[in-house]
Chain A
Amino acid sequence: MLSTRDLVLCALFAALLAGLGMAPPIPLGFLPVPVTAQSLGVMLAGALLGARRGGLAVLLFVLLVAAGLPLLAGGRGGIGVLMGPTGGFILGWVAGAFVTGLLAERFATGVNPVRLFAVCAAGGIAVVYAGGIPWLSLVAGMPLEKAAFGSMAFLPGDLIKAGVAAFAAAAVRRAGVLPAHA
C-alpha cells in the first residue's frame, strides 16, 4: 500500500517533471542543441523512487498532459501530442521509469555511478525507445529500421542524460534524505 509520504513523493516528482518543462533549456557547452531535462527526470524518478512509485509519478505527469495541461517542454500538451510522431516516447516514459526502478532495486541499490548509469540507460533509453520507435514507424509510415536509425540522432544526448542522472542519483543517495525502503 502507498503511504501518505509515497503519495506526496509521486505528486512532487510529477510536478518536478512539469517544472523542468517550464524552465528554459539548459545549454551544454559541447552540444549544439540545448538539453531538455524532462527525460532526465524520468530516469531519476525510477532510480530514486523505485519501480512502483517512479512509474506512478511519471504516469501522473502523462495523465495531466493527456488531460490538456501544456506541461511538455515548449508548452506542448493534449492528446494530439501523444498521438503525434513523438507520442510513443512520452508514453514510453512511464514504462521507462518503472523498468529503471525495477533494475535499480535489483542491481543499483548503492551509490556506484556505473551501476546507476547502466540502469538509467536500460530503462530511460532502451525501454523508452522500444515504445517510441514502433509508434514513430506507424505514424510516419516508415520501416522500423529507418525509424530506429533516425532516432539514433537523440542517443548521444540521452546517454549524457543517463550519466548525469547516475551522478545526481548517487549524490542524492549519499545525502541521506531517502527513506529506508527506497
Chain B
Amino acid sequence: MLGLYLHRESPVHRWPAGVKLGGLLAVTAVVLALPGVWGALAAGALGLGLLPAARLPVATVLRHLRAPVAMLALLFGVQALLAGTGWEAALVAVLRFAALILLATLVTLTTRVTDMVELFERVFGLLRPVGVNPAKLALMLALTIRFIPLLAEQVREVRMAQQARGVERSIAALFVPLLVKIFTMADDLAAALEARGYDPADRGP
C-alpha cells in the first residue's frame, strides 16, 4: 500500500507504533500545558534531534512541513498586522504547533501504515466491553484499503462519461451515478463475503 512511510534502517523506524504515537500524545499534552515558548522550543529541539536519528532526507521532511507551516505563518502574519497587540500569544501558539507538526510528521514518515492500522485495532479492542467488535473494524479497514483503487477508478470513469456528454461542471451528475453504483456494488460484495464463509455474528477472536 502506497503510504507516506519512508523506509530507512534506523532505531526510530524500529520503535513500536504505540510508543511513537503515545509519545507524540504525551509531548503534545506537555507542550500545551507548559506556559510560554519553552515547551515549543523543547519539542522543536526533540524533532530536530530525531531527524538525523531517523535518517530521513531533510528535503522530504521539509516538503511535508511546507504547507502547514506556510498556513501558520500566514495566520500569524494576518494577526500581527491586524491586531497589533496580542501577537506574542499568537507567536507562542504558532511555534508550539509548528514543533508538534514536525514531530507528528516524523511519526507518520517512520511508521508503516499496516503498523498504525494494527495499533488502531488494538486500541479499539479496548472498547470491546461497550460492544465494539475489533474484528469487524479490522475487516472494514482492510476492505476500505482494497476499495480505494476501485472507487478512484469509478470516480474517473463517471467524470469521463460526463465530459463526453458536456456536463462536467455538474457535481450532482457525478454523485448520483456514483452512489447508485455503490449501493448496487454493496449487495454483490456482501454476497461474495458471505459466500466465502464470513459470518457477521462471529464475535471474532
Contacts and interface: CB of A to CB of B under 8 A. Distances in A.
Interface of A: 1-5, 7-16, 18-20, 22-23, 26-29, 35, 37, 40, 44, 48, 56, 60-61, 63-64, 66-71, 76-86, 138-142, 146, 161, 164-165, 167-168, 171-172, 175, 177-178
Interface string B82-100: 0100000111111001001
Contact of B144 (A1, A29, A60, A80): A60
10 contacts: A2-B133, A8-B186, A15-B144, A19-B151, A23-B155, A26-B169, A69-B145, A85-B97, A140-B75, A172-B179
A60 B64 contact: no
Interface in B143-190: 143-148, 150-156, 159, 168-169, 171-172, 174-176, 178-180, 182-187, 189-190
A18 B152 contact: yes
Given A15-B150, A18-B148, A60-B141, A40 B171 contact: yes
Interface in B1-58: 1-5, 21, 24, 28
B173 to A, nearest CB: 9
A interface, over-half SS: helix
B122 interface: no
B67 interface: yes
Contacts, number: 224
Interface residues of B, number: 81
B120 A63 contact: yes
A18 B68 CA distance: 21
B71 A71 contact: no
Contacts of A168: 171-172, 175-176, 179
Nearest to A15: B147
Given A11-B143, A168-B175, 12 more contacts: A5-B190, A10-B140, A16-B178, A28-B169, A56-B140, A64-B113, A67-B120, A68-B108, A69-B2, A69-B4, A141-B91, A172-B183
A142 B91 CA distance: 10
Contact of B139 (A7, A22, A48, A66): A7
A177 B183 contact: yes
A44 B28 CA distance: 33
Nearest to A86: B71
Nearest to B182: A12
Contacts of B72: 84-85, 139-140
B interface, over-half SS: helix
Interface of B: 1-5, 21, 24, 28, 64-65, 67-68, 71-72, 75-76, 79, 83, 89-94, 97, 100-102, 104-105, 107-109, 111-113, 116-117, 120, 133, 136, 139-141, 143-148, 150-156, 159, 168-169, 171-172, 174-176, 178-180, 182-187, 189-190, 193-194, 198, 200-201
Nearest to A165: B175
Contact of A70 (B4, B139, B144): B4
Closest 6 CB pairs of A and B: A141-B93, A78-B108, A15-B147, A19-B151, A11-B143, A67-B116
A2 B64 CA distance: 38
A10 B101 CA distance: 30
Contacts of A11: 140-141, 143-144, 146-147
Given A80-B104, A84-B97, A85-B68, A178 B183 contact: yes
A71 B184 CA distance: 24
B93 to A, nearest CB: 3
Contact of A4 (B117, B175, B193): B193
